Amino acid sequence: MYGVHIHTLYLIYYYHIIFFLACPVCATTGITVVDTADNYCTNVFTEALAIEEDTAACALLKDAESTCCPIIETPCSVCAEGITVDASQPVDSLPQGTICGDLAASALLVEDTSAQCTVLKGAEETCCPPIVPCTCELGMLFNLFPLS
C-alpha cells in the first residue's frame, strides 16, 4: 500500500512539472520546420517537457527556437499565382522526393530575403511556369480538342 502512494505522488509531481512548470520551447507556434534526419527539433521539444522553466537548461533549449519554430515576418513568395502544373510533379532542383505540392507550404516557413527562399524560387520554372495562351487558329483547335 505504501508503494502505491509513492507511485501516485511521483505521477502527480511528474504531471505537475509537464503541465505547469515545463520549459516552454516553441510554446506559441509548435515546431514549424521540417525536422532534420536526427529529429533535432522533436528531441528538443520532448526534452523541454522534462525540464523546469526557470533553469539554465531551459534557457539553452529555448535557443533552438530560432531553428525549430522561427517567427516568419515576410514569407517567401513562390508561385504567387499558384502552381500551374500537377501538384505531384517532382522538383529536380530541390531535395529528392520534393514535389510541387510541397513548395507553397515550404515557402511559408522561410523568410523572403533568405538563401532558402532563393533556392525555392528556383523551382518556379518547374512548378508554376507562366501559361502562354496560343493565339493561332491551329492552336485554338488544339485547345478545343486536346490530343490527350
**What pLDDT sits at residue 15?**
46
Residue 18 is predicted with a pLDDT of 46
Residue 135's pLDDT is 64
Confidence (pLDDT) at 55? 92
The pLDDT score that the predictor gives to residue 70 is 81
- Which pLDDT does position 73 carry in this prediction? 86
Q: Which residues of the chain have pLDDT under 70?
A: 1-20, 34, 36-37, 133-148
Percent helix, strand and coil across the chain, each to the nearest 5: 45, 5, 50
